[in-house]
Amino acid sequence: RFWGAMTEVKREVFGQMPQEEGGGVVEKFILKSDSVKVEILSLGCIIATLETKGRDGEFSDVVLGFDTLEGYTKQHPFFGAVVGRVANRIAKGRFTVDRKYYQLFLNNGPNSLHGGARGFDKVLWSPQVLPNGVCFFRVSPDGEEGYPGDLKVWVTYTLSGGELAINYRAQTNKTTPINLTNHAYFNLAGQGSWDIYDHEISIEADSYLPVDNTKIPTGEVATPGFDPRQPVELGKHLQKFHLDGFDHNFCLQQAEGQRLVARACHPPTGRAMEVHTTQPGIQFYTGNNLDGSLKGKGAVAYCKHSAFCLETQNWPDAVNKPHFPNALLRPGEEYNHTTWLVFSAA
């Protein structure tokens, strides 16, 4: 790692929230190193832009999103946002904690997805500028979206050379499920490129979670019909196995501390991204629900399979599956996870 070059941090106004959303100024924080430039919004801690160098030394923006605030205040599939209080799906939006029953809003068929109707992605966070990044803070009040306890949350982005670190911390005064991740959609060819079929992906896992037809894990931990550790060219792989795409949690080795869990590369440009995390799972999603109806940056229509997500997180519906990794945060404990995205060009 190259510590010589400093990270620049700038802040500017990005827009004003509509009155019906409570108004408020949305700021944009620009972190810049010699090889990466990332722009993060105080709305939903959204990564709005992430520019990284290709083999030719030219910068390209590799995340999907919108040019203006208006795009982010309308319905969109969580582009670049931090999702919570619980990322991914909770079956029937129900769970029991300390013999008390909780019912959440159902916003994904029969299930609750990514925190509910107005999750962490749709609210303004309080920013604090750091020497090499920005820390966002909010309190999710007791009963917000049906969840128990006042939850204090800190999300910190720091940039060092080609490495963007995202740290999530939380404390609660009542036992609550929690599972935080960032939902950035990547295309290493540059956002707005037609598809991701020429990307090579590998995931450091030997098992995954099969799901039912509402995308809830069945409870089985299964071995996939291929070795995810071996890089596959995505288009050929989907064709060979007649897949509509991926939207699955891969089970990572249960270990404390940072480990390399996934790698994506785009041979034509030489761009590569490594994902390191402390989390027990990673949701690999290939933008199956993008259908061209959303116009993003530069008025480009985002079509099916035009981006992928590698969301580091706990296993989906863990709060209802006792044999899955623990999903509960109790008073006096601290939730503390970090994910590192490392960008390079070969």
pLDDT recorded at residue 6? 87
Per the omega criterion (within 30 degrees of 0), is the bond before 85 cis? yes
pLDDT recorded at residue 186? 98
Half-sphere exposure of 7 (CA within 13 A, CB side): 26
The label of the residue with tokens 């309308």 reads 74
Q: What 3-state DSSP class applies to 144?
A: helix
Q: Which of 51, 144, 163, 311 is catalytic?
A: 311
* Distance (Å, whole) CA 266 – CA 263: 10
* Distance (Å, whole) CA 95 – CA 321: 10
pLDDT recorded at residue 21? 85
Question: Is 118 annotated among the ligand-binding residues?
Answer: no
Over residues 31-68, the pLDDT tens digits come to: 999 999 999 999 999 999 999 999 999 999 999 999 99
Select from 200, 187, 161 the least CA-distant residue to 296: 187
CATH of 8-345, one of 3.40.50.12660, 2.70.98.10, 2.40.160.40, 3.30.1330.30: 2.70.98.10
pLDDT recorded at residue 1? 46
- Residues facing residue 262 across a β-bridge: 203, 275
- Determine which helix (DSSP H) or strand (DSSP E) holds 235, and give its type and residue range: helix 234-240
Question: Is 11 annotated among the ligand-binding residues?
Answer: no
Any catalytic annotation for residue 311?
Answer: yes
b (16+ CB within 10 A) / e for 90-103: bbbbbbebeeeebe
For the chain, give every domain's residue range: 8-345
**What's the chain's length in residues?**
346
Q: Which of 114, 183, 266, 276 is catalytic?
A: 183
* Distance (Å, whole) CA 158 – CA 276: 14
Are 215 and 280 contacting, i.e. CB atoms less than 8 angstroms apart? no
- Determine which helix (DSSP H) or strand (DSSP E) holds 153, and give its type and residue range: strand 151-160
CA distances from 315 to 120, 197, 209, 283, 325 (A): 19, 26, 8, 8, 7
CA distances from 274 to 200, 203, 263 (A): 12, 10, 4
pLDDT recorded at residue 257? 83
Those residues whose C-beta lies under 8 Å from the C-beta of residue 202, and which sit 6 or more positions away, are 228, 229, 230, 231, 232, 262, 263
pLDDT recorded at residue 5? 65
Question: Is 184 annotated among the ligand-binding residues?
Answer: yes
Question: Is 266 annotated among the ligand-binding residues?
Answer: no
Q: What is the pLDDT along the chain (346 residues), one digit of tens a residue?
A: 455 568 999 999 999 999 988 899 999 999 999 999 999 999 999 999 999 999 999 999 999 999 999 999 999 999 999 999 999 999 999 999 999 999 999 999 999 999 999 999 999 999 999 999 999 999 999 999 999 999 999 999 999 999 999 999 999 999 999 999 999 999 999 999 999 999 999 999 999 999 999 999 999 999 999 999 999 999 999 999 999 999 999 999 877 789 999 999 999 999 999 999 999 999 999 999 999 999 999 999 999 999 999 999 999 999 999 999 999 999 999 999 999 999 999 8
The burial of 308, by beta-carbon neighbours within 10 Å (0-12 exposed, 13-18 middle, 19 or more buried), is given as buried
Task: Give the gyration radius of the chain's Cα atoms.
Answer: 19
pLDDT recorded at residue 253? 85
Q: What 3-state DSSP class applies to 236?
A: helix
Strands (E), 42-81: 47-53, 59-61
Question: Is 247 annotated among the ligand-binding residues?
Answer: yes
* Distance (Å, whole) CA 107 – CA 324: 23
pLDDT recorded at residue 256? 74
Mark residue 32 as left, alpha or beta (left: phi above 0; alpha: psi -120 to 50; beta: remaining).
Answer: beta
Question: Is 157 annotated among the ligand-binding residues?
Answer: no
pLDDT recorded at residue 4? 52
Those residues whose C-beta lies under 8 Å from the C-beta of residue 322, and which sit 6 or more positions away, are none
